[in-house]
Amino acid sequence: MKISIINGPNLNLLGQREPSIYGNQTFDHYFADLKAKFPQIELDYFQSNIEGDLIDQLHRVGFSFDGIIINAAAYTHTSVGLGDAIKAIDTSVIEVHISNTFAREDFRHTSYITPNAKGLILGFGFDSYRLAIESFL
Ligand code: DQA
């Protein structure tokens, strides 16, 4: 089984960015833990701060992978293009967020990803990604 994890803008700074919201762990460290926990899955990881690169990555993996887990970060709340890309591909997408976006500012309550995703997991910290993997199993 091949699962692609795609992280959007500013998530390269996890571990140092707003630790009271996003914790102290880097995503690279967490990704190594995930790979060890699910040795039977081919896990792929991509991060970009650039909207078009995230769309290109969805196109790259969206016709051959078994599942996609996306945290589009701030683009969740703004990007018609990412929503359309998810609609255009074959692979099921689970939207994840580290924080509970509904407990935060109003502008974080809108998502262009959710209407096109298979499901949404948020508010469980980094564990949101593990739960998304479990949902594909
Ligand atoms: C986030 C929530 C977004 O609102 C925010 O812009 C992020 C991270 C999360 O994982 O909690 O960058 O997607």
User: Which residue's CA is minimally distant from atom 2 of ligand 1?
Assistant: 73
What's the CA-to-centroid distance between 134 and ligand 1, angstroms? 21
Atom number in ligand 1 closest to CA 77 = 4
1 Cα to the center of ligand 1, angstroms: 27
CATH number at residue 34: 3.40.50.9100
Q: Atom 12 in ligand 1: which residue has the minimum CA distance?
A: 73
In whole angstroms, what is the distance from residue 57 CA to residue 17 CA?
Answer: 24
Domain residue limits at 11: 2-136
Angle between helices 27-37 and 127-136 (to 10 degrees): 30
Q: Look up the pTM and report it.
A: 0.97
CB 31 within 8 A of CB 71: no
Q: Would you write out the chain's pLDDT as a tens digit for each of its 137 residues?
A: 999 999 999 999 999 999 999 999 999 999 999 999 999 999 999 999 999 999 999 999 999 999 999 999 999 999 999 999 999 999 999 999 999 999 999 999 999 999 999 999 999 999 999 999 999 99
Ligand 1 site, residue 41, Cβ cutoff 6 A: no
d(CA 132, CA 124): 11
**Ligand 1 within 6 A of 120 CB?**
no
The number of domains in the chain is 1
